[in-house]
Amino acid sequence: MGLAGEKFQLGTVGALSLSVVSSVSIVICNKALMSALGFIFATTLTSWHLLVTFCSLHVALCMKLFEHKPFDARTVMGFGVLNGISIGLLNLSLGFNSVGFYQMTKVAIIPCTVILETLFFRKKFSRYIQLSLSVLLFGVGVATVTDLQLNAMGSVLSLLAIVTTCIAQIMTNTIQKKFKVSSTQLLYQSCPYQALTLFIVGPFLDGFLTNKNVFAFAYTPQVLFFIVLSCLISVSVNFSTFLVIGKTSPVTYQVLGHLKTCLVLAFGYVLLHDPFSWRNILGILIAVVGMGLYSYFCTREAPKPTEASPQVTQVKEGESDPLIADSLNAAENGAAATTDEPLKVPMWSSKYARA
């Protein structure tokens, strides 16, 4: 087990670190783009993110940095379209709801994922895991949730966004294991369908939510610079999202997402001088304690390796490890995406760093 187990642990830590750094970076970049420069077309921007990600992976494929592994085309198409729809629904949810209710939508993704995995995959979560998740969600709620203004349309859109996001993230983990494809291979094959879905609906959705035309926007050199920078960072965001879910689980990815929310709040206060209060500080501290407990209990409850496990571990490592180096999210999403302080404009927040 020794070396193979060590490689897996290092790979997981690298994936988590890459996800955090890239997601926080893209949120700060997009905040400057949207708040300071007025480019508020989040769904269209997300389609560009995915297009650049696909082009980057195609170049890597041509350089033989990873191997193309085709599998069931209908599964890939359905998965890609579902991801695109979930990102659009998250943006609609933010457009029709208050920021506080949108944050509650993001918080609800964890319990929804736990319920779906329990019902359909017979996965069991101990009382300690449930307790740590409750502490984490309470802290995130204290730190981020402000007003809760309910309306019928916004509530329906939020419910649809939660369900589609949970299913898409569970599918990410399931497809990688079922078809024995790496995160790189799955991302490469699903990116065109996600990008096409958002590229078609993006301008209409952004126009509906902002009353502005993305094609009529004044693209100054400064705006173009931040758009290009955002697209480049998104390659890492999208890649790390698939990598983290493939190496860990959808629930762990959501836990990581809420840690990124707290980090974004902290960075926003330090770097961008956003308003901050004692409630934000208290909530972040509680959330960090919750994540620490979750990590501790997950490690403690992990199954012990057996004598025959070295070969099994090596096989799984080959299946789940990316064939491109870790230097290559979410965005969030995604959406998306997918990260992840919300602005008062639609943005990709929970799925792929959700910037």
Q: Which residue has the higher pLDDT, 193 or 26?
A: 193
- Within 10 Å of residue 145's Cβ, how many Cβ atoms? 19
Tokens, residue 233? 């960072």
pLDDT at 195 over 90: yes
Residues in the chain: 355
What's the confidence (pLDDT) of residue 275?
A: 60
- DSSP 8-state secondary structure symbol assigned to residue 33: I
Q: What pLDDT sits at residue 24?
A: 76
Query: Of 78 and 319, which is predicted with more confidence?
Result: 78
Confidence class for position 349, pLDDT limits 50, 70, 90: very low
- Note whether residue 351 is domain-resident: no
Has residue 82 been placed in a domain? yes
Range with the largest mean pLDDT of 54-68, 295-309, 332-346: 54-68
**Is 310 a domain residue?**
no
| Number of neighbours of residue 218 by Cβ within 10 angstroms | 8
Question: Among 283, 232, 233, 281, which residue's Cα sits nearest to residue 258?
Answer: 283
Please give the pLDDT value at position 149: 63
> How many domains does the chain divide into?
1
Give the residue with greater pLDDT, 327 vs 98: 98
**pTM: predicted TM-score of the whole model, two decimal places:** 0.68
> 80-116 b/e with 16+ CB inside 10 Å = b?
bbbbbbbbbbbbbbbbbbbbbbbbbbbbbbbbbbbeb
Quick one: pLDDT at residue 220?
93
The pLDDT value given to residue 354: 39
Instruction: Look at residue 306 and tell me if it is in a domain.
Output: no
Alpha helices in 42-98 (DSSP H): 42-62, 73-96
pLDDT in tens, 20-48: 788 778 877 888 888 888 898 989 999 99
Q: What is the mean pLDDT of the chain?
A: 74
Q: Dihedral angle at the C-alpha atoms of 88, 93, 94, 100, nearest 10 degrees?
A: -150
Maximum distance among all Cα pairs of the chain, rounded to whole angstroms = 64
Contact of 76 with 189, CB cutoff 8 Å: yes
Structural domain contains residue 6: no
- Specify the pLDDT at position 32: 84
Structural domain of 28: 11-301
Q: In this structure, are residues 264 and 24 in contact, taking their beta carbons and an 8 Å threshold?
A: yes
pLDDT tens for each residue of 225-278: 999 999 999 888 877 777 777 666 667 766 666 666 676 666 666 665 556 667
Per-residue pLDDT, 343: 39
- Asked whether residue 323 is assigned to any structural domain, the reply reads no
CB-based burial of residue 215 (10 Å sphere; 0-12 exposed, 13-18 middle, 19+ buried)? exposed
314 or 212, which is more confident?
Answer: 212
pLDDT at 79: 93
* pLDDT of residue 292 exceeding 80: no
What is the tens place of the pLDDT at every residue in 209-232? Answer: 889 999 999 999 999 999 999 999
* Assigned domain for 84 exists: yes
Does residue 4 fall inside a structural domain? no
Give the whole-angstrom CA distance, residue 103 versus residue 254. 13
47-57 per-position pLDDT tens digit: 999 999 999 98
Q: What average pLDDT does range 187-208 have in this prediction?
A: 92
Other CB atoms within 10 A of residue 319 CB: 14
